[in-house]
Structure 1
């Protein structure tokens, strides 16, 4: 938190008092206390006690805080709400079985929120107003790539329909809508609605700061008046239709301000001081299937035509390479109108059933540049991680392992899976139920390498799981080129083939909507950008925020109280931006993003070791331009002392001094090293390696360990990829990280490694992309200049009887998108 410099002159103090960037608070201390109370989720009684103490006997009137009690605290904070978009109250009603039911809800006007974004000067430089065509070029090769929504086709098509400047440019403002029920306590569910502006980069719109998603309000939770099993099919249908009617009424009220502007636009002077005509619309809806059915007014999973995107029948859900008639606003509206004009109820019901619809008018049918059906997007979280894998293939595998009595062995092998950054290490795989999608994804990444030696030879489940993982890795890339989309489409065909095999081998039924939605994945990429843009994972954390707000309510009619808490948070956040900006300009500071990034890189090695003191390196790095940074110094000395110190207990250091001299002479012949020359040596236990990701061509970082007792849990020696003359991926295990200072003053970084050689041994089931390496027993030196990035290799367990003393490892090519593409391109595939 920024404080006023105590040496500030009286003149500057007067300027601060006159400007009052912290208004409506009387003093900066008033705002700082309120900020702390709001962020700390303090209860009213604690705030009241603290304020009375600070303005009374505690500080005896010597403090700067003028707020006297909770009521005054609340009054000023409420005044600050006007800086943001405030909530409104509305009521909807509908009739169910002859009884009219009313529901009250709170919402924000999305147009007011859009105006606050587009007029914000701090967001002007990162806002995109027009679609773009982007291309990746390398060595004469050129192909289009798609990433953010403005690089895809739908935005381009809208731009071609908008008028030419007359005199102002006409621009589309597409929105991302997220709706999902979630638990805020063990027994209480709430249904938040969040909107994001797709005109902003994903790093901004998916974050919680300025430009991030806005909480628009709650969808009404329609409680079931009875037990569905006690009702007839007709009564269940009537209740489902009632819920959708309420659903549509709520959405129509919330988004009513956008409808006229989607047609005629509105003139707005934006944050870059350019006047534009803005047209709001809906491009992406992130929903699980239950909410997709509700949102589109379609019938649910058992309907004859259950897909909210197309008219595919139940019998065709497992076909992944066929096309089906798309649902659109125009053809679905025509069907509902036809049903409403049917001569009798029987005919009406038949028409609706034949198209999987309810007799409900959709609020979005009349919007321009918006289609409620085509905006429903492929969700990696619910459709892949928690869907096809978490609810279908994973339970099937567990059942099979249970029959084979291999659950304990699987858990033991999984517990020995090497640690890797951003990959959850799971020790209780078979004894615990996992609900979150990220854990399911981590299991999916590991499970093929764990099960391949346990399941039968040429097991179709291994192939099916592996192909689903390849599909998920490809679908999760941050950038999709034409060649990547081509590989992606081939994977869909391969996945369909192995699903058919699993159906025959294990009697598994793949006719379910989340399986079918793969049909729409490629179209979503081409029209809306990469699938990451639409994942519901970006909104999952919002349930935690709602739960925090809920904890401050009286637990009765909590929606209004939560809305007020969100307004508090918004007011504090906006005021903090203004205060920080004011003092930054007052002090003449000029923020240098590159400098900040460099400082973060220089201190990165210490963040990972917080809680204990790290010795400072005695030998400086050879260059600040290296792609690696050594961290966690172990000891210093010279090459001969290291040989004497480790000769007895560590084979990596046997004959260390002569081997090191031979290596250095071969690498740097101009150094003319003699046997008498002293070589200073310093060892380290971790290395931070930066590399350009093949995924989105941005800089990424690996943190690799080289420690004989990592966090007191035993040795950890990570692996690396390195450059070699031969084709394919070259791997080695780090055994020591060394910095050497030669007599000439040259400083060089070296690793002692055990290289991995491709093995001819093959597991029981050889999957696409299977790579097996054999770890050599001998140790060698490797210049860090040749290291590309970290690599994950997992030991083959149980050890194959044919090679009981081998050190075989599987190469894990799915740790991230970069590694997946590197491995893919090392085979017959070519994927830019």
Structure 2
């Protein structure tokens, strides 16, 4: 299994240590004027049900790429487009400093099973859209002669799946860029033959890595939202509308249902082109549903275009129409398609945007977001901060007059901390022997907690979601939990609790998560 790398070149006792990197622009502001370029990493060696989560073992933001600002006078110019690619790859090189070194030497590590292995860091690349893959592969894109970031298929042959074209190689790209650096005229001609840009690729610095092979198709954008949502589904609706059948109203935006809903409407006799389109959708479903190997397909885009005849107005020569040519190679070399979907990483854009909204002045936003901890209190404060001033204490008492847990809250917390901290070898600040809360001390309220734990059923990582919110969808919500504590004799004791209040409190340099 190559995973986009020449693993056959690893030493006999060498093993890959896989980083799955995701990079794609996102909008922080609702107006779409503030853009960011986060890089999220996952460990490909972990089991799928651990790796593909948001919690422990899941995705972590590891970098923050700069975005070259738009310039109306320069946009569209080749030199400015190349500059953006140079900035992207030079920035990515900084993320790779350690990986570049270790990819050449490897490192010894004793794994969980007690066996010491010689690990070599390797990279799998994910991106949400075609344009980003062109940036990563440093090809010239949709309008170029060879627009595929994986192989050298000509632009006019993107729908031709019967022909296998040569794969893009690092050696060839390096030679052409080197020629360009010596002779711009001859080198430019050679680069254009493979639609390459005259830029050194950051991924070339990682030994054994071929970025063209390491690039992986995203099922979400290439198939579900792309080939089906933007193209096949729209074409199918056009044919149904033209027939004027009642069945058009039964359509749902789910590809698996279209064949069953439309097969008795888009018949060969009633609409030959519509029937050919359904055969294309069947081919799409063969790939999308079970994706287990090369399967006989019952229809092609070329058949559909031929059936349309003079009515064919849509140009199907686009990269997503060609993408399925490489999908089975991806599966054989990298595993199930769910392992290289961007759906998992795009969910993490939410906490990034929330952090930006909390930073009203917009300053130092990159560092603020990079410090996000997706594992503890992941929902920001709503009531902001609650001071220990007597006035604030009275307000808290008034809000919870029916709940004795909040009576003299400040004194209870003070007593708890003075017992809890010494018992856990946490020193009181400034050499104090007794901690007294002052008007400067604050707590930070949170209303959503993600708990990651090892399941005693299958010993796998599981996640629970706990809420403590006075208005969750219009209703008060205080979830329950099972916690392990000690009885009066110091023995382990499991009890059920209802969460009334969750907060952070800082003692000296120690941040405590409390409830």
TM category, shorter: 0.5 to 0.7
Q: Which residue of 1 aligns with 2:78?
A: 237
Kindly tell me: are residues 385 and 347 of structure 1, through their superposed partners in 2, closer, same or farther at Cα, counting changes over 3 Å? same
Match of 2:141 among 297, 300, 308: 300
**Residue pairs, 1:51-130, within 5 angstroms:** none
Kindly tell me: are residues 465 and 377 of structure 1, through their superposed partners in 2, closer, same or farther at Cα, counting changes over 3 Å? farther
Matched, 1:592 2:456: yes
Match of 2:196 among 342, 345, 357: 357
Alpha carbons 1:178, 1:286 under 8 Å: kept: yes
Distance 2:104 2:459 in 1: 46
Q: Which residue of 1 aligns with 2:23?
A: 179
Q: Which residue of 1 aligns with 2:284?
A: 471
Distance 1:562 1:300 in 2: 34
Matched, 1:329 2:170: yes
Match of 1:413 among 246, 250, 271: 250
Instruction: Please give the root-mean-square deviation of Cα atoms over the aligned residues, in Å.
Output: 3.4
Alpha carbons 1:176, 1:286 under 8 Å: kept: no
Deviations 1:221-269 (A, max 9, x none): 22221167xx6xxx52122111100110111001111001001012234
What's the secondary structure of 1:171's corresponding residue? strand
What's the secondary structure of 1:257's corresponding residue? helix
Kindly tell me: are residues 596 and 198 of structure 1, through their superposed partners in 2, closer, same or farther at Cα, counting changes over 3 Å? closer
**Residue pairs, 1:658-697, within 5 angstroms:** none
Alpha carbons 2:137, 2:201 under 8 Å: kept: yes
Distance 1:161 1:267 in 2: 17
What's the secondary structure of 2:22's corresponding residue? strand
Matched, 1:373 2:186: no
Distance 1:497 1:304 in 2: 20
What's the secondary structure of 2:109's corresponding residue? strand
Distance 1:331 1:211 in 2: 37
Alpha carbons 1:550, 1:558 under 8 Å: kept: no
What's the secondary structure of 1:164's corresponding residue? coil
Distance 1:363 1:595 in 2: 39
Q: Which residue of 1 aligns with 2:467?
A: none
Kindly tell me: are residues 528 and 348 of structure 1, through their superposed partners in 2, closer, same or farther at Cα, counting changes over 3 Å? same
Q: Which residue of 1 aligns with 2:179?
A: 338
For structure 1, the 5+ residue unaligned runs are: 1-151, 415-425, 427-441, 574-578, 584-588, 601-610, 612-832
**Deviation at residue 548 of structure 1 after TM alignment:** 2.0
Pick the structure with greater CA Rg.
1
Alpha carbons 1:184, 1:547 under 8 Å: kept: yes
Q: Which residue of 2 aligns with 1:709?
A: none
What's the secondary structure of 1:195's corresponding residue? strand
Kindly tell me: are residues 590 and 521 of structure 1, through their superposed partners in 2, closer, same or farther at Cα, counting changes over 3 Å? closer
Alpha carbons 1:284, 1:528 under 8 Å: kept: no
**Deviation at residue 171 of structure 1 after TM alignment:** 1.9
Kindly tell me: are residues 200 and 262 of structure 1, through their superposed partners in 2, closer, same or farther at Cα, counting changes over 3 Å? same
Q: Which residue of 2 aligns with 1:386?
A: 225
What's the secondary structure of 1:174's corresponding residue? strand
Match of 1:199 among 31, 45, 59: 45
**Residue pairs, 1:483-502, within 5 angstroms:** 484-487=292-295, 490-491=296-297, 494-502=299-307
For structure 2, the 5+ residue unaligned runs are: 379-419, 425-452, 465-474, 476-515
What's the secondary structure of 1:178's corresponding residue? strand
Q: Which residue of 1 aligns with 2:255?
A: 444
Alpha carbons 1:445, 1:469 under 8 Å: kept: no
Matched, 1:281 2:122: yes
Alpha carbons 2:5, 2:213 under 8 Å: kept: no
Distance 2:9 2:106 in 1: 13
Kindly tell me: are residues 459 and 398 of structure 1, through their superposed partners in 2, closer, same or farther at Cα, counting changes over 3 Å? same
Deviations 1:124-181 (A, max 9, x none): xxxxxxxxxxxxxxxxxxxxxxxxxxxx4548961x433234xxxx321122111122
Alpha carbons 1:177, 1:194 under 8 Å: kept: yes
Q: Which residue of 2 aligns with 1:268?
A: 109
Distance 2:454 2:51 in 1: 25
Q: Which residue of 2 aligns with 1:770?
A: none
Kindly tell me: are residues 473 and 503 of structure 1, through their superposed partners in 2, closer, same or farther at Cα, counting changes over 3 Å? same
**Deviation at residue 287 of structure 1 after TM alignment:** 4.0
Matched, 1:211 2:24: no
Deviations 1:316-357 (A, max 9, x none): 111112111111111111111122222xx4433322222111
Matched, 1:544 2:350: yes
What's the secondary structure of 2:324's corresponding residue? helix
**Deviation at residue 300 of structure 1 after TM alignment:** 1.4
- The normalised TM-score by structure 2 is 0.67
